[in-house]
Amino acid sequence: MIRPLMRDPFFLGLPCEEATPADASVGQDLLDTLAAHAHECVGMGANMIGVRKRVIVFDHDGTHRLMYNPVLEATAGPYQTEESCLSLTGSRPTQRFKRITVRYLDERFTERTESFSGWTAQIIQHEIDHCNGVVI
């Protein structure tokens, strides 16, 4: 189901709780909402649709991916950039990493560890920030 976007900075600044298999519908709602905003957005965290759970979705080379409880395990190649967010107006400076390794649960809640680089890594870092209550 396509959900309305949360735009309250206070809510977006609250850390999210761990997701459980009972939150599978949140993942699907995020995928649906990202698809509806694909013309203007490349990733979303669950708090962007008003749910304080550690769930993210993102575009990975044209395919929308889903992660429950993502955690950065390793980072390399720091750089400075500017980012915007669909939930907020304007853009803000931030530090990102060129290469990351993420531990997460997939759509079946099976633990996975995967490495990403470049643009996809930047998107994932932004969405994990959402899970941590970091507003960029």
Residues with active-site annotation: 127
In Å, how far are 18, 67, 94, 98 from 81, measured between CA atoms? 29, 24, 6, 11
* Joined tokens for residue 2: 């396509």
